[in-house]
Chains A and B, each alone.
Chain A
Amino acid sequence: MKWKEILIRYGELSLKGRNRNHFVRKLRNNIKGAMSDLKSIQLRAERDRMFLIADEESDMQKAIERLPYIFGIQSFSPVAMCEADLDAIKEKALEVVGTEDTAGKTFKVEIKRADKTFPYVTAELQQALGGHVLHHFPELIVQMKKPDILLHVDIRKEGAFLTSKVYKGAGGMPVGSNGHSLLMLSGGIDSPVAGYLLMKRGVSIDAIHFASPPYTSELAKQKVMDLTEKLCSFGAPVRLHVIPFTELQQAIVQQVPDNLSMTTTRRMMLQIADKVREEIGALALVTGESLGQVASQTLESLTAINEVTSTPILRPLIAMDKLDIIELSERIGTYETSIRPYEDCCTIFTPSNPKTKPKLEKVHRFESFFDFQPLIEEAVRNREVIEVWRQHEKDDFEDLL
């Protein structure tokens, strides 16, 4: 089946009032970015919908594969074109309906006759086409209300445009249309899901990860890079900031008693993240915290940790059950990577019984014996910034294979 173009329907974008142009522009850019290697693709954005046109059939196929992952698209439909001539339209209609699973499905023809010089009126055309399709697909049942297969024919001056298949889009809003945030990415199951949910709401993100070599390995870092790369596939490039955290972590172990060290560690991480956030001009921090999941995620702990900053901390998973989070991570394809078994900075130096209700005044007291600020600033300064999506540009393997 050779498709002429793809009709892309916007999600809630079309609800937006005066900001709509901004949203449409973002979506257009994101689609363009995702298709940048497909040379024959062109985009034409209209007020309520967008058209993707490709000359190469293979580019068209790839576009159909990639569009379902781009946020801000409600649904999309490949469109076939033929001359505005009854026989040609009949022929094309069979081809288009032939791409669908027709067994036991309901069916309807819908005609839009924009070109009024076309010699048949809508009702005639509807009957002729419907009859022709039913003759070839006798298993179809005609149904006017909510048919499974809606063959839409648009007759314009330049030809007839036929479409029937509707692919579901990812929904949400175009990434980047709702500002920029910094995601705290540990390498576990939750944080990539949190990133995904925020991106779905149109937030573009940078990610921050804490590494404590040699306690954490290069593999743990690679795992986080792989997760970041996965996040990039949801619509916009995600930069990764890797913070050298060993010294700070050692200082904490020396200064703070075992059962409070976890709380202090999180407070330090949050301060570092906040400084990075400020440098990159992001507005909020994002975490994968879910209430009551571990000691650091009780309401008391969250309060004690949150005290170090007034920056908004977005916690999209806060009320989600672990099993639901796992299910979502499987669906978006981060689960397999998340469960690779490497130590991360949260699992080393874990006290045997961390406080679930840390007392803030105690935390303050122990932290007051040592000036952590120089170490915090050094960690921010010495961070490694990785543009993971560029890693593939140099490829040793290509020559070998």
Chain B
Amino acid sequence: MRQKGREIHMIYFDNSSTTRPDESVLESFIAANMKYYANPASLHVLGREAEALLKRSKEQMLKLIDNESGEVVLTSGGTEANNLAILGIAEAYRSRGNHVITTQIEHPSILNACIKLEEIGFEVDYLAVDAQGLISIEELEKKLRKDTILVSIMHVNNEIGTIQPIRQCAELIKKSSRAVFHSDCVQSFGKLPVSMESLGLDAITVSAHKMNGLKNSGALFLKKNVTPHAINFGGGQENGLRSGTVSVPNAVAMAKAMRMSTIHEDSADYREWRNLLIDACSLYENIRILSPHHGAPHILSISFKSINGEVAVNYFQEHGIIISTSSACSSKNKNAGHVIEAIGLENKFKNGVIRVSFGNTNTKDEIAEFIKVLKSFMELIERGM
């Protein structure tokens, strides 16, 4: 038994929960903290320097996401950016209508914000998904109305890795409504091409710590002329959209993390590893593969029949491998998560869900190790049944 915090070397396959910061990102963060610590809103020369650096960081981010004419609001992470997108945009465009569309498999920071919207009188439709986690374009078409003001559809699902047809949705939305189209791209940025232009989006949420950046750092990208109302109040920083002293070092670190992750955007390795794992899992009748074949390259979600996911997590951990049950955000809940419910998984598999997610620290050898441990785990549970 290893002692807490003193693991020798753990194979980390929980990169969709969070990643280890890249060393160069940390270096930039420290350097920016030491040199550009002044408040970018200050008039003095140090403040001005910090402001210039902040501006450059933002320009870099905007360029990387193909939104050079637009804006970026820096937030405390994906959750806050999603909250701002849902609550802020709905409120800002209320004069146009009262109707919001999202999906059943969004991150809780979208779903719970939508519940809040319903409480204050908005009407929200939640698009259903099929067994692969895919929404139906036809359903979206049916739900879109003249008074739809906001549609929010996540790019890549955090639990099973489904990639939604954002571009197609965008074309449909632009054709038949005036709605603002937002997408939670927290899981996709740096793994798939994420471009405001080519995806046809009006707003994008990104989080730094999912791409080897720092925790507590995220952003909402807004196309030109899309302006939400603020949801927090104070000194009016970030054009009044996000009050509170702007952390220039965090902006720097995030700009760098975004740049580094887009360099490695071609996820050929992840694709190969994922296929190896799929092949290995297909050997067992008691394993159900939940992720769609054409899902995100870095996420594989599987389920064990009549076993608790937690048991698998414990077993793999004993053997030096870190995986998670579905998502970290819902893994401490006893009930099966909302995504698992939405894809209509049969009862025997509902509790046995685990998620394997790759990051840039992983190697092919680690995949082989995982397959070995999986084999011994399957032997164990098949004996026990």
On A, residues with C-beta under 8 Å from B are 217-219, 222, 397, 399-401
Contacts and interface: CB of A to CB of B under 8 A. Distances in A.
Contact of B56 (A217, A219, A397): A397
A400 B252 contact: yes
Nearest to B43: A219
Nearest to A400: B28
User: Interface centre among A218, A222, A400, by most B CB within 10 Å?
Assistant: A400
B23 to A, nearest CB: 14
A36 to B, nearest CB: 22
B45 A401 contact: no
User: Interface centre among A218, A222, A397, A401, by most B CB within 10 Å?
Assistant: A401
Given A400-B28, A401-B56, 12 more contacts: A218-B45, A219-B45, A222-B48, A397-B52, A399-B31, A400-B31, A400-B32, A400-B256, A401-B28, A401-B60, A401-B255, A401-B256
A124 B56 CA distance: 57
A397 B256 CA distance: 11
A219 B57 contact: no
Contacts of A399: 28, 31
Nearest to B256: A401
Contact of A397 (B43, B48, B53, B259): B53
A401 B259 contact: yes
26 contacts: A217-B43, A218-B45, A218-B48, A219-B43, A219-B45, A219-B48, A222-B48, A397-B52, A397-B53, A397-B56, A399-B28, A399-B31, A400-B28, A400-B31, A400-B32, A400-B53, A400-B252, A400-B256, A401-B28, A401-B56, A401-B57, A401-B60, A401-B252, A401-B255, A401-B256, A401-B259
B114 to A, nearest CB: 35
Nearest to B61: A401
Contacts of A219: 43, 45, 48
A41 to B, nearest CB: 22
Contacts of A222: 48
A340 to B, nearest CB: 10
A397 B252 CA distance: 9
Interface in B19-39: 28, 31-32
Nearest to B53: A397
A166 B384 CA distance: 78
A400 B60 CA distance: 12
Interface in B68-108: none
Nearest to A398: B56
A144 to B, nearest CB: 37
Contacts of B255: 401
Contacts of B57: 401
Nearest to A218: B45
Nearest 3 A/B pairs, CB to CB: A400-B28, A397-B56, A401-B255
Interface in B40-75: 43, 45, 48, 52-53, 56-57, 60
A127 B259 CA distance: 52
Contacts of B56: 397, 401
Nearest to A395: B56
A401 B57 CA distance: 7
B251 to A, nearest CB: 10
B214 to A, nearest CB: 14
Nearest to A341: B43
Nearest to B253: A400
A221 to B, nearest CB: 10
A399 B252 CA distance: 10
Nearest to A222: B48
Nearest to B258: A401
Nearest to B56: A397
Interface in B271-287: none
A230 to B, nearest CB: 16
Nearest to A397: B56
A219 B252 CA distance: 23
B39 to A, nearest CB: 15
A400 B260 CA distance: 12
A98 B183 CA distance: 31
A401 B31 CA distance: 11
A301 to B, nearest CB: 32
Contacts of B259: 401
A94 B60 CA distance: 37
A308 to B, nearest CB: 35
Contacts of B60: 401
B141 to A, nearest CB: 25
Interface string B347-377: 0000000000000000000000000000000
A163 B104 CA distance: 51
Contacts of B53: 397, 400
Nearest to B49: A396
B59 to A, nearest CB: 9
A204 B48 CA distance: 31
A17 B60 CA distance: 48
A245 to B, nearest CB: 20
B62 to A, nearest CB: 13
A78 to B, nearest CB: 21
User: Interface centre among A217, A222, A397, A399, by most B CB within 10 Å?
Assistant: A397
A219 to B, nearest CB: 6
Contacts of A400: 28, 31-32, 53, 252, 256
A219 B49 CA distance: 11
A394 to B, nearest CB: 14
Contacts of B252: 400-401
Contacts of A217: 43
B83 to A, nearest CB: 28
A218 B60 CA distance: 27
Contacts of B48: 218-219, 222
A217 B45 CA distance: 9
Contacts of B256: 400-401
Nearest to B55: A397
B379 to A, nearest CB: 50
